[in-house]
Amino acid sequence: MQLPTLREIFEAHDRLGSDKWTTYFGAYDDHFARFRERPITLLEIGIQNGGSLEIWAKYFANATRIVGCDIDEKCRDLTFEDPRISVVIGDANSANSYQAVTSDVAAFDIVIDDGSHLVSDVIQSFALYFPKVKPGGVYVIEDLHTSYWEGFGGGSDLDLSSMGFLKLLADVVNKEFWRDDRVGFNLLQNYASRYDVAVNDAGLEIDEVAFGNSVCIIRKKVLDGEENRRHITGNVFKVLDYTEVKPLSGSKELLNSLHITRNLMPATARQAEFVQLSATTLENVRRIEQLDAELRTVSTSANEALTQAQQEIASANDALASVNDALAHARQEIASLKNSYSWRLTAPLRYMRLTTPLRYVKAVFRH
Ligand SMILES: C[S@@+](CC[C@H](N)C(=O)[O-])C[C@H]1O[C@@H](n2cnc3c(N)ncnc32)[C@H](O)[C@@H]1O
């Protein structure tokens, strides 16, 4: 029987809300097909309204545990009818949440990071939870468009972004062909230092990194002991003759005879240059952060001085306003005094007091 697609389940869903991009549906149908009917465990970082957990429960009908983790306290009030679903409240990258998630379910077939999408969180979550993916399981990162956005700690030309990190994981897939055994060499060193995480290409067993629009799916290698060997079949070799080496097909000797060696080649010049360039980028990023902090300090004190000057102007304006009030009050009092009956009644007296001496002076001069 044909199982319903993720899109069909998503569109028919009628309980808690969920928010996914169209391009994820096909990518998930392709990469999750082998898990559809298995008793898997799944972790989703960032659940918001909780609907995606319900949708995963329908999509993986035989899943045994579906765990969500969200930093938002409001997620505590979400209720789920399916007993396989549980939620941990807290920052997925904190020790407490990590403990709560992993003490309950020891390892996951699928981990989906749909959390903050900040570059620092994406890389810290990968460093924490990729080790908890079962061999053959997948680690998924959604909304990678944020890797190009400054507000999320990214940038389109920034090596130290989520996409920059994931592109290096594509090299990790092929590490048997380039990795050398120099002590301390770590292709991911700059990310480890920048985001303060223990992530080292030497410890990562990855056999596929698939990129879709805004999504990356990383598959953990199954360590079944089988080495990658070169195999030769067929009997007709018209272009390059393998007749002599064909009996060695699939053996280490064949690799040697074809001059393919592994774990012996030094890191390529490009990788060394990349590590050097990234170190310079890291230095520049640190300098920018330092200048930014200095700028913030200067602008804080300038703002404080401005606030103080504004306060002083405001109190001078208050003082001026009270002087003006007092003046207006005095004028009003003078006006009402002049309009008063007693002022008008005493007007002749004031007139006489003024005019009598004048008249006397005039009389003296006339005679
Ligand atoms: C895009 S929403 C998740 C949507 C949900 N997965 C869905 O498909 O419908 C992102 C969620 O991540 C949560 N979040 C942000 N930072 C987090 C962190 N450090 N740890 C756990 N959750 C986080 C936010 O609270 C928010 O609810």
pLDDT score at 32: 98
| Model pLDDT, residue 280 | 78
CA distance 10 to 7: 5
Q: What would the pLDDT profile of 327-341 be if each residue is shown by its tens digit?
A: 999 999 988 888 888
Averaging pLDDT over each range in 70-79, 175-184, 265-274, which range is the top one?
A: 70-79
Mean pLDDT, residues 163-189 taken together? 85
Select from 111, 116, 125 the residue to mutate for testing ligand 1; criterion: most ligand atoms less than 8 Å from CB.
Answer: 116
Residue 246 dihedral angles phi and psi, to the nearest 5°: -55, -40
Residue of minimum CA distance from atom 6 in ligand 1: 47
Is the pLDDT at 262 greater than 50? The verdict is no
Q: For residue 200, report the distance from its CA to the centre of ligand 1, in Å.
A: 26
Specify the higher pLDDT residue, 104 or 76: 76
Mean pLDDT of 125-129: 98
Closest atom of ligand 1 to 72 CA is 25
Distance from residue 81's CA to the centre of ligand 1 (Å): 21
Ligand 1, CB cutoff 6 Å, lining residues: 18-20, 44-48, 51-52, 69-72, 91-93, 114-116, 121
Query: Residue 70: helix, strand or coil by DSSP?
Result: strand
CA 89 to ligand 1 centroid distance, Å: 11
Residue nearest ligand 1's atom 16 by CA: 116
Instruction: Identify which of 48, 66, 126, 146 to mutate to test ligand 1's pocket (most ligand atoms within 8 A of the CB).
Output: 48
Classify 82 in phi/psi space as left (phi over 0), alpha (psi -120 to 50) or beta: beta
Q: What angle do CA 350, 354, 360 make, to 5 degrees?
A: 140
Residue 261 pLDDT greater than 70, yes or no:
no
Compute CA 199 distance to the chain's CA centroid, rounded to the nearest angstrom.
18
User: Is 82 exposed, middle or buried (CB count within 10 Å of its CB: 0-12, 13-18, 19+)?
Assistant: middle
> How does pLDDT run across 301-316, given as a tens digit for each residue?
999 999 999 999 999 9
Best of 11, 43, 47, 89 to mutate for ligand 1, by most ligand atoms within 8 A of CB? 47
Residue 5: DSSP 8-state: P
Query: Residue 91: which H helix or E strand, with range?
Result: none
Q: Quick check: 160 pLDDT over 90? A: no
Predicted model pTM:
0.74
- What average pLDDT does range 204-223 have in this prediction? 96
Q: How far is the CA of 8 from the centre of ligand 1 (A)?
A: 23
Of all atoms in ligand 1, which is nearest to the CA of residue 118?
A: 16
Distant-in-sequence, close-in-space partners of 98: CB < 8 Å, separation ≥ 6: 92, 128, 129
Q: Which residue segments constitute the domains of the chain, with CATH numbers given?
A: 6-222 (3.40.50.150), 227-267 (no CATH)
Instruction: Give dist(CA 24, CA 28) in Å, integer.
Output: 6
Q: Which DSSP state fits 201?
A: G
- Measured in Å, residue 212 CA sits from the centre of ligand 1 at 20
For the chain, the average pLDDT equals: 89
Q: Which residues make Cβ contacts (< 8 Å) with residue 6, sequence separation at least 6?
A: 24, 25, 28, 29, 32, 55, 59
